[in-house]
Amino acid sequence: MSDQAVETRDLVREYKGGVKAVDGVSLTVESGGIFGFLGPNGAGKSTMVRMLTTLLRPTSGTAIVAGHDVMKEPDVVRRRIGVALQDAAIDPYMTGRELLRLQGVLHGMKRADCRARADVLLGRVDLEDAADRRVGTYSGGMRRRLDLALSLVHEPVVLFLDEPTTGLDPVSRVTLWDEVRRLNVEHGTTVFLTTQYLEEADQLADRVAIIDGGLIVADGTPKALKARIGYPLLSVVAADGSTPDDVARVLSGFGEMVPGARDGGAAVRLPGGSTAMADAVRALDDAGVRFAEIDLAEPTLDDVFLASTGRHLAGSDDASV
Amino acid sequence: MTAAVPVIRQTAALAWRSIVTTIRLPQAWFPALFFPLVLMAIFTASFGGAPGTIPGFPPVRSFLDFAVSGAIIQGVLIGGTSAGAAFATDIEGGFFDRLVASPTSRTSILTGRLGASIALGVGQALLFISVAAIFGARVDGGVLGIFIVVVIASLFAAAVGGLGIFLALRTGSGEAVQGMFPLFFALLFFSSAFFPLDTMVGWYHDVAALNPITYLVESMRREIIGGATIWTALTGIGIALGLALITVGASALALRRRLRVAA
């Protein structure tokens, strides 16, 4: 088994008219983790996934998935990967169980194995009760769970999930996250997940790459990416006769001040994190400075995104091609 | 395991899935059964007196005997359109991508859908013959005649299915494929599907005389109303086979093209 689940070099996909949806991506995803591929609509996420899952031929560059070249050995790759694509409309007139068994046959499994595997997977994604109902009657969350189960029929080494929770309600989203985590931990399946939700990448992924305009603009663990933004921001609002200047004088001893970050108070980048926060509170107290509000804000992936692209991710559709 | 076994199993599984989804969706099968039967009934009621009175009408026991083969061709055309639209829906909806991203053989993606079209075409032929028989129609050629009619119907079903798949692969839109339907219907009316070639006049006659559907229908019709020879049978089978080879070949090329260019 190779230790790299995905390895691409200078991968490019150019569409008609010269638009480069993916513009030279070199990416290595280690086996065993959950990799979050984050970016706004039209950033090139889906194009990337389609190339890695043999659905789309790269214009140039190479991609090795699960140890095999997607261009030279697409069939070997297909046997080793699971794919759940964005908005996969699953046959509404078939039942969940029928679709799972069909998927087994398509993967060349024996009839008895198909049945057994379908039962196991239905249990795993909690669809036993709905197994013999037509998929048309399923809720959005149930469909995604069935989609996930379908992509797992042949026990893939690498699982590709393209925006698995887009359009789902928060509860269904969390249920799916749990299932993906379980899959990764209990079965050792490497997960390559695309998302436009910061929270999803933050919650699930142990490594994140941010793609924007077909280029990777940031790549690392969520922690490292956030650390690159800087230390958490401690902001304090002055009260009861104390002035913002009083607050600032005390806080300036703890780190780099961020002027204008907090109205009616002051803010500082705190290298010591929450431990230093306790010291800061004590120092304020010792100096007799009174304050009303105090909070410590960790850098978010949105800060990372902002720093990498100059835009906020949330609700940004302007990058769509 | 030999390479052929998975292809056969995958074809059977995909054909089964196509048939099941067709049966479960009344919009998919109802028009393909209802309209041919209704037209057969209306024409039989309207032109029941035509045989023997209109010059050019072939010798036939009843107009119903005459109408059966037209109904079969019509049913297969409507069924094939639905099959093409369903294939396009698979492309639009992501089922096709799921197949392509799995080790499913590319051949069975086509043969699965074609197998379903053929099975449904055979079913239609047998159903229409049976319904007509209830109302007094008879197949002059007997069991062999029915067999030949079914063979032609199944080959024509493959031809129409192939055309539907070709259009689906090239347009990727169920609506676009469905939009071809009036064109197919016109093709049917510009043939001897409903009326004999010899009663037609002018350019209409000339167009119908060039329409391959005319010869398919005539070949089937001979088996039912009488006058069939080995040559009339082979003509029908040959034309249906030729059409099937052309459209299935075109759909195979369209699939290759779609997979190579891939969106």
**Which one of B17, B25, B102 makes the best mutation probe of the A interface by having the most chain A beta carbons within 10 Å?**
B102
Give me the pLDDT at residue A314, please.
Answer: 58
Residue A316 has what pLDDT? 39
Asked if residue A183 and residue A249 are part of one domain, the reply reads no
- Say if residue A56 is in the same domain as residue A203: yes
> Is A314 a member of any domain?
no
> How does pLDDT run across A267-321, given as a tens digit for each residue?
888 877 777 888 888 888 888 888 888 888 877 777 777 777 777 765 434 333 3
- Is residue A82 in a domain? yes
Distances, alpha carbon A175 to alpha carbons A204, B53, B176, in Å: 12, 75, 39
Please tell me the predicted confidence (pLDDT) of residue A308.
Answer: 78
pLDDT digits (tens, 9 = 90+) for A23-59: 999 999 999 999 999 888 888 898 999 999 999 999 9
| Mean per-residue pLDDT, A59-86 | 92
Sequence-distant (≥ 6) Cβ neighbours of residue B122 within 8 angstroms:
B150, B153, B154, B157
Structurally, chain A folds into a number of domains equal to 2
User: What pLDDT does residue A318 have?
Assistant: 38
Between B255 and A224, the more confident residue is B255
Domain region containing A257 = 231-298
B10 to chain A nearest CA, in Å? 6
Asked whether residue A310 is domain-assigned, the answer is no
- Domain for residue A316, yes or no? no
Using alpha carbons, select from A152, A149, A140 the residue that is nearest to residue A96. Answer: A149
Nearest residue on chain A to B21, alpha-carbon basis: A93
Residue A320 lies in a domain: no
Residue A307 resides in a domain: no
Please check whether residue A305 lies inside any domain of the structure.
no
The ipTM is: 0.87
When CB atoms are compared, the residue of B17, B98, B261 closest to A83 is: B98
Tell me which residue of B184, B182, B173 sits closest to B86, measured CA to CA: B173
Q: Do B94 and A88 touch (CB under 8 A)?
A: yes
Q: Same structural domain for residues A135 and A272?
A: no
**A contact residues 32-61, partner B, Cβ 8 Å cutoff:** 50, 53-57
Q: Residue B261 has what pLDDT?
A: 66
Q: Which pLDDT tens digit goes with each residue over B212-241?
A: 999 999 999 999 998 889 999 999 999 999
* DSSP state string for B136-151: T---TTHHHHHHHHHH
Indicate whether A149 and A103 sit together in one domain: yes
pLDDT confidence bin for A3, thresholds 50/70/90: confident
Say how many C-beta atoms besides its own lie within 10 A of residue A75's C-beta: 12
| Residues A138, A73 share a domain | yes
Instruction: Find the residue in B nearest to A90 (Cα).
Output: B95
- Rounded to whole angstroms, how far apart are CA atoms A55 and A47? 9
For residue A88, what pLDDT band results from cuts at 50, 70 and 90?
A: low
* pLDDT tens digits, one per residue of B139-177: 999 999 999 999 999 999 999 999 999 999 999 898 888
Residue A145: CATH number of its domain: 3.40.50.300
A167 CA: distance to closest CA in chain B (Å): 16
Closest-CA residue of A relative to B97 is A55
B118: pLDDT strictly greater than 60: yes
Judge if A242 and A200 occupy the same domain: no
**CA A306 – CA A291 distance, rounded (Å):** 30
> Which of A219, A239, A260 is a domain's end point?
A219
pLDDT at A7: 94
- What is the CATH classification number for the domain harbouring A271? 3.30.70
Average pLDDT, chain A: 86
Q: Containing H/E element for A30?
A: strand A20-30
The 3-state DSSP class for residue A166 equals: coil
Instruction: Show the CA angle centred on residue B10, arms to residues B9 and B14, nearest 5°.
Output: 120
- Which chain B residues have any C-beta within 8 angstroms of a chain A C-beta? 1, 6, 9-10, 13-14, 17, 20-21, 24-25, 92-95, 97-104, 260-263
Q: A110 and A161, same structural domain?
A: yes
Q: What is the pLDDT of residues A123-167, one digit of tens each?
A: 999 999 999 999 999 998 899 899 999 999 999 999 999 998 888
pLDDT tens-digit series, residues B77-105: 999 988 999 999 999 888 899 899 898 99
Looking at residues A208-224, what average pLDDT do you find? 89
What pTM, to 2 d.p., does this model score?
Answer: 0.83
Q: What is the predicted pLDDT for the residue at B186?
A: 87
pLDDT digits (tens, 9 = 90+) for B66-80: 999 999 999 999 999
